[in-house]
Amino acid sequence: MSNQTSDNNKRIAKNTLLLYFRMLFMMVVSLYTSRVIQDALGVEDLSIHISAQTIA
């Protein structure tokens, strides 16, 4: 019983760390891509793009 509990705790800790790493990775990717999109579109087209995203 105790061995099963420690295995479950290890699995929970591992999954938690993987989820935090995934969240950090996705945040970095989204910040980078938003900067690239902003540079590529410019101010006017970016506002149209954001408006279209909000509606959809």
Q: What is the 3-state secondary structure (H, E, C) of 1-56?
A: CHHHHHHHHHHHHHHHHHHHHHHHHHHHHHHHHHHHHHHHHHHHHHHHHHHHHHHC
pLDDT given for residue 8 in this prediction:
92
Of residues 3 and 9, which shows the higher confidence score? 9
Alpha carbon distance 7, 5 (integer Å): 5
Q: How far apart are CA 45 and CA 28, in angstroms?
A: 23
Report which of residues 24 and 5 the model is more confident about: 24
Calpha distance 39→32 (Å, rounded): 11
What's the pTM value of the predicted model, to 2 decimals? Answer: 0.67
